[in-house]
Chains A and B, each alone.
Chain A
């Protein structure tokens, strides 16, 4: 039985965005840096880490790994340097939720990073920001400058003797640098190649030192957790997946944008009430739930689902990074997959064989189908390539492209077969949502 409680708790989007709402003065008026003060003055690093572990906070970058467990690997008092890195290389297509935090609530991230740095005893923390982010960079740099001037970043924060510097490192436009280990290689000045595990990054990460890499949204929850306590956090969302999620919704939706929803929120309600339904009143064909690397769900499938990993995963997909794409009826899934595979081909780093060769293979294969030269057994070949990439690559990108391909192939195979047989699209190759006449 669906829960009746109205799920509308907010953790991050708690204020109206104005021209000055990102500045320190207004952030302080909203209570920013109180949690930092509380952590530094009344808690030990261990207590902070324990609080985060107890909160059940999970990574918001896509893999949903429990943050507290990641932190627990780091021995905060082992005497060696540790590093903290905020992953702001928001490159998953369809995802732009971290951008909202960086632009509108940068102090929440700065404060949270300082608390995390305190818990992990980090002297130097980094923000790896995607190169295309111009406004977010200016906003976050501005916030860091303000915080430094106010004695909140740098030496002797709030007079407690704890010091931490936060540096922004801007990427150069590589998707794969959003993968935690490639991100660290990039900060080190190396080519953005993901690294083999073991060793885990929490054992040997940046400059071969224990390193925690967390998503911007994940980190931004820390201040709230410290301020209100783990119990309060667990009361939000569902017991298994506590908290809220920022959902960046785009595609053929009437009101695209970033929405904060409590985990367990009704999917229908988000799309039809909050976002105003599809453009031009079109019917919903399918939804990519969390970045294009998650498997597509049809409109019928999400009808009864709540936005809760415990429901989305049994349905065969995942909440991923929260980059939701709503696709209207009348969209050509063959063209859509072609666009996605062009992206993956372009962004494969080329390090390990299955992804380097497989992405190009899939891309050329679908190009040939779109050119009208496809054959029916090409679809089995695409499925085979996707399946054999899965789990045999250094990072998750090989898997991701495979999921995307298998998801669309499984549910819309008839569109591909139509194109192959008839030599043209079932929907005139449409990627736009047109006003019905």
Chain B
């Protein structure tokens, strides 16, 4: 374990580390633009320069191996001069159009410009002009003028997503990030992780086409959550409008909408990446919602629906429950506590791989497209669905149930979050919340338990499944009226 000195202070380092890694591990700030913890060292941005004590020149910290007794200055006058110069070089042809840039507010370059330069351009030359709004793929728009050619995106597609979709074209200050194979955008279109390059872009060059000019980040709040898209259960941040910036005039849905989803670094699950499906969580969760309890297709008050359900359960002798693999650990426990010994339970796959979806890969995506199948099956068993001939009540929780396959003439209690024709076919229907509207936990396929928090309020009329289960508890068996 070599010992190195950063600004005179001693730190323990590991032999394979670089000076930058040691500094970050111990909270010593060294700026970096092209360096990313999960990507190879490019060493091209030159902002991480440091000075070895006694030397009259600077070197980059991201590629400097540690050695016993190495003494490094991270903030000497020479380092400051070079950082300032590097910022002047980087912003020489950068438009500095933060006012209209989607990245503003969370832009590394913007922060560093203030921290290390903070002056207007000293150049009198016109800026190099390059392509604006270059369509890099269906999802991603590239602004070449803002690009600082750190090549994080190129390295991501080579080293992480392995689509090899991007490369650098031309030379010098005319270099452009472009599709690696001619102008073929399909490579990036087919990259199931492509939108991560928008996150890792340290400037506003790579932009999500869907969000272009739609939102400013300072109006948004990130709530930690878990992606329900597959059994990986990636840690995510769900971005929605801050309550204090609530819009009063436009459609109220703007205030509860999921604006975007970004990965939240969790080394045990997903690292700093998520797949594109996770980005599209809004498409999944913001489908038209059911917002009223139904009794034989007619809207009723929740209490009336609960009473009807209690009556059905009370009368049933051999009830069956189809358990949602989208239920949280808490909801599954509530169901087990309330009805577990009355019902024969089968775990149901709420979602199956959609057409054209990546079923499974060796990075993140898992074949099981449900977030909590592991806990559900641990609690309720792995047995395949089979209706005994004497089944006299079916409780269906969540999507993914073909009502045509249920025993004919048997009453159904249905809990579902979304509008569906089946809602009205059930004897009793409860509109339930989705996981962004409550707190809870999912346990992923590898057994890692992750918490998610309530991002937005439940729509009016919607009830948590957990509350329904608790209300249905303690109905004695077989009490015919």
Contact = CB atoms under 8 A, between A and B. Distances in A.
A and B pair up: yes
Interface in B151-181: 167-168, 170-175
B17 to A, nearest CB: 13
Contacts of A392: 46, 49, 58, 82, 85-86
A378 B122 CA distance: 10
Interface in B37-64: 41-47, 49, 57-58, 60, 63
B206 to A, nearest CB: 18
Contacts of A347: 171-172
A198 interface: yes
B12 to A, nearest CB: 22
Contacts of A388: 81-82, 85, 89
A350 B174 contact: yes
Residue among B41, B44, B60, B148 with max Cβ neighbours from chain A (10 Å): B44
A349 B168 CA distance: 10
A297 B228 CA distance: 70
B172 A356 contact: yes
A375 B57 CA distance: 30
B266 interface: no
Interface string A321-349: 00000000000000000000000011111
A353 B171 contact: no
Interface string A86-99: 00000000000000
Contacts of B172: 345-350, 356, 359-360
Contact of B171 (A348, A354, A394): A348
Contacts of A13: none
Contact of B128 (A360, A378, A394): A360
A381 B63 contact: no
Nearest to A350: B175
A353 B174 CA distance: 12
A354 B175 contact: no
Contacts of A360: 92-93, 128, 172-173
B167 A351 contact: no
A174 B60 CA distance: 26
Nearest to A355: B172
Contacts of B85: 354, 384, 388, 392
Nearest to B148: A353
Contact of B45 (A353, A368, A391): A353
A368 B124 contact: yes
Contacts of B122: 381
Interface residue SS majority, chain B: loop
A353 B44 contact: yes
Interface residue SS majority, chain A: helix
A354 B58 contact: no
Contacts of B43: 196, 352, 394
Interface string A353-386: 1101111110011001000000100100100100
A58 to B, nearest CB: 23
Contact of A393 (B46, B123, B124): B46
Nearest to B86: A353
B303 interface: no
B288 to A, nearest CB: 49
Given A191-B167, A196-B63, A388-B85, A350 B173 contact: yes
A350 B168 contact: yes
B89 A350 contact: no
A349 B49 CA distance: 21
B126 interface: yes
B125 interface: yes
Nearest to A381: B122
A358 B123 CA distance: 11
Nearest to B176: A350
B32 to A, nearest CB: 12
Contacts of A357: 89-90, 92-93, 173
B58 A356 contact: no
B65 interface: yes
B340 to A, nearest CB: 58
Contacts of B149: 350-351, 353, 356
Contacts of A391: 57-58
Contact of A361 (B49, B58, B125, B175): B125
B167 A353 contact: no
Interface string B218-236: 0000000000000000000
A359 B175 CA distance: 13
B345 to A, nearest CB: 55
Nearest to A391: B57
B89 A354 contact: yes
Interface in B78-92: 81-82, 85-86, 89-90, 92
Contact of A394 (B44, B93, B126, B168): B44
B148 to A, nearest CB: 7
A350 B93 contact: no
A196 B123 CA distance: 29
A357 B149 CA distance: 11
Nearest to B85: A388
Interface of B: 41-47, 49, 57-58, 60, 63, 65, 81-82, 85-86, 89-90, 92-93, 122-126, 128, 148-149, 167-168, 170-175
Given A353-B86, A394-B43, 16 more contacts: A191-B168, A196-B41, A345-B173, A347-B171, A349-B171, A350-B170, A352-B43, A352-B46, A353-B149, A354-B85, A356-B89, A356-B172, A360-B128, A381-B122, A391-B57, A392-B85
10 contacts: A196-B41, A196-B60, A350-B171, A350-B174, A353-B89, A356-B149, A356-B173, A357-B93, A384-B85, A388-B81
Nearest 3 pairs of A and B residues by beta carbon? A350-B175, A348-B172, A364-B125
